[in-house]
Structure 1
Amino acid sequence: MPPILPQRESLTVEFKSDRKCLSDKDLVEAVICLANADGGELWLGVEDDGTPTGLHTDRLQVAGLAGLVAARTSPSLAVTVVPVVLSAVNVACIKVPKAHGEVATTGGVYLRRRLKADGQPECVAMLPHDRASRATTFGLVDASAQAVAGAQLSDLDPLERERLRQCVQQFGGDRVLLELDDEALDGALGLTARQSDGTRAPTLTGLLLVGKELALRELVPTHEFAFQVLAREAVGFNEFRRFPLLKALDWLETNFRPYNPEREIQVGLFRVPVPKVDLGAFREAVANALVHRDYHRLGAVHVRMDDDGLTISNPGGLMEGVTLANLLTTEPRPRNRALADAMKRIGVVERSGRGVDKIYRGMLRFGRPEPDYRRTDASSVVLRLATTDADEAFLKSVVEEEGRLGSALPIDSLIALAALRGLKRLTTDELAIHIQREPAQAKRTLEALVEAGLAQAHGATRGRTYTLAASVYQAEGGKAAYIRQLGFSNLQHEQLVLNYVREHGAIRRAEVIELCRLSDGQAKDLLKRMKSTELLLLEGAGRTAAYRLGPKG
């Protein structure tokens, strides 16, 4: 099937007129421009407004275009050229893959595609910091492990080194670090790197963790963070800082606490704190933003509190291979590997590299919505944490089950419980999407919750569905909530079907599915049961099969 001409140009679609025979140079530059962004399609023979005007007579044989592009790009770029007839004229759709790294013309020209403020695409030069940023996104270069030009050992602050050692003790980091002198500590955490002349110089990791503030301002000008509080559009707090990261985390947490009220609820013999935002999730999210931001890009890490929630954003999109659809399951891919490893050893961030799990846990166990990354794009990661009221009945069920297990609930189980709470009824395929795993794993998760008494299964066939168990709704008003989420009982389904048949004379399986809001398998089981008890009689077969009232109907 031939490709379909898009309606307009975009980040991944470029139209090029060929009425005057587009030069080979311009064609190749347009191709690498797409390749150095997200790849896409170059439609040759189409005007900027999307009107097909056809290929120049010298270019009607499109078979050689792929070889032309390969010969004039470095490294050679493999494109696919598809001839297409539109409005009785011949055009070419050149499919350009996303380059894994960076690609240039053989003349040494580096270009990339981007969107302007008005949403229109443009092709611009790839400057040195753009190329460095792209390399870190693909994990090809670790800027945080490299020595910073012009930095000296005197740019490191002894007081920040002491803060680092205190953090190791406070957060349960690698205690071996506490036994090292300054030079050995610098080497163990990658705070300095050996130069060709044998001397040591601070790395980006070193400056960010224990650098003096003046040195950070001069040598790492992209480093900046802000804490903002907006209440009913009024600014309650708005300050920008350039502190070293450990001091930054302490400053942000100290200023955040007054805006994060906490109460307690009784669960058995224990009193459980219920904050507006889980502090562990806050600390992990802020640390992730500071550690994984792109230090080649200008822009601050923003921590913003408003009436609806907490938003944490940082410059630099997700790493190559990481998407919103695999955020929970993909292997950790830090942009600044040396910095991330150092923060793990200090104990500030999750040592397993699964900090996202900790953020999810800090939201879901309180019955709040899951973390929202939907505003993330190619240039920034944006995390939204809702500050809705906690569901105390849900929290009590989770705490009691964790007490019974003697450990925290698996993150998949928490996601499943939250999905059941929000959607009322789930299938294994639906849960698989939520936990970003295979349906088989989703089924094991749900069956484990059934065994624990937290979920209830309905049906025994492929149409098996799950709801929260009645035990989750033991708080005041819980019985009514349970009845609402459980839906119609089997008896109610039977009565609905009987009333329909009495009024219309007969009913088909498709009508049962729509009437009772059941799956195909559940409707089949219901009709089979009603037939066996002689409430209904089956007439016909296949597509003409219908059920009428039986002797006991």
Structure 2
Amino acid sequence: MESQTVEYKSDIPIKSNPFKAEIVAFLNTNDGTIFLGFDDDGTLIPEKIDQYKQWESWISDWIHSAFNIPVQKFVTIEVSAQNFAIHIKQGDKPPYYYKDGEGFNSKGIYIRNGSSKRRATDDEVRRMLKAQVANEFESEPSSVQKSLTFHYLQDKLLDNNIVFDSKGLRLQNIDNQYNNGALLLSEQNSRVTKIAVIDGLDMSADFLAKKEFNGSLIKQIDMTLEYISLLNDRRVSFTGAAARLEHESYPSKAIREAVINAYAHRDYSLSADIKVEVYDDRIEIFSAGGLPDGLSVADIKEGISAQRNPNIVHVLDKINYIENFATGIRRILASYKDFDKEPMFIVTPNQFKVILYNRHYAVVDDEKQGWVNNNLKKNLSEAEQLELGFTLQDSLLENDTMVVGVKQYIDANDEKIIKILTLNGDKSRQEIQDYLQESKTKVHQRLTKLIELNLISKRGQSRAIVYFANANERK
């Protein structure tokens, strides 16, 4: 039966362009096979067997000269006593089209649609052309050549006992020109990463922090991972015999895979920055460009891979940031196997978004939102609870005397102060006051209390005094 990947044809018509269009449709869409000498139901037509030799000669000529570029590496012919099959792989540089005179032939661009072909629309052709530019961007010569430096990359290579070799790392071509991949990995990289931490569930809420990282792509990866780690709260439970288990808000493995994939596979021909938005209940990671080579989310969940930036992936592999086994998405999903909300992957032609859900966040009684720890928190001392970040919103166990004790020290605005200082570094009293919109006296009381609880500290004198989170100081 004919399908997205199978086509039956009884013969090659005298006017051969419709048959060439069938080959083009597979080249532009997906792998498939055309069985020649069969009726529409897939039944062999015995009298066609005598034409096998002629068909093989024609098609062998076509794959070298009938299309806009030679396609012999994508098309193979399988001929046996009672079978003539043309196996076609999806091409890596669409759009493909059959020739009809000289120059671009938009009428010859076809795609596969179910069990038949159809002519590609203008928008589909534009997307193919745009994807081709994206896939070739990193290997094109860079506009910046003489002033590129690679100090951060060199340090990472030395950590892995690898000597910096620009050609071995695919950063230069045979003419000693740096490519765009080299520029992205250099200190002169102009692309940035933007991170926003939102005090709520959507963009209508206040911002707790905004950060922007620049420099080498690898440096941006490191800084992004380090910054997100500040937000990745850990909760403790007991399994008996005083054994502790730590539960992260977000699995570290999922964060690492999602962040590195965003840099490794994004479309650098687009000007959009990598963005990370952190809400109370989730992290959203945005990278420019859809999936390469026509892949779908279902494909990548099954481990099917395609590399948009093979040179960058090669470098990341050298420094042990990435594995070339198409396992990233599956690792993200596996890290959430015991959680009721699976990570989401949202794809548009211009963007790939990953959503990771906070495993400590819960909505209670339709109104009350907060952090919930259902384990044996009562086994922790009050000091341990404070050290581990268990505050007023960390539990809804109202009758727990330990929690009542914590409540008298910490409220929601105290938590915001700690979070602001953790995410932003040093802040003055006035800056904290401006955010909380409270009186000078009230903010001073809060800061004094948090210092007494050893959650924050201060440095400087008089008007130069600033406050910082003790967790930052330990780092």
Q: Could you tell me the TM-score, scaled by structure 2's length?
A: 0.49
With CA pairs under 8 Å and 6+ residues apart, which has the higher RCO, 1 or 2?
Answer: 2
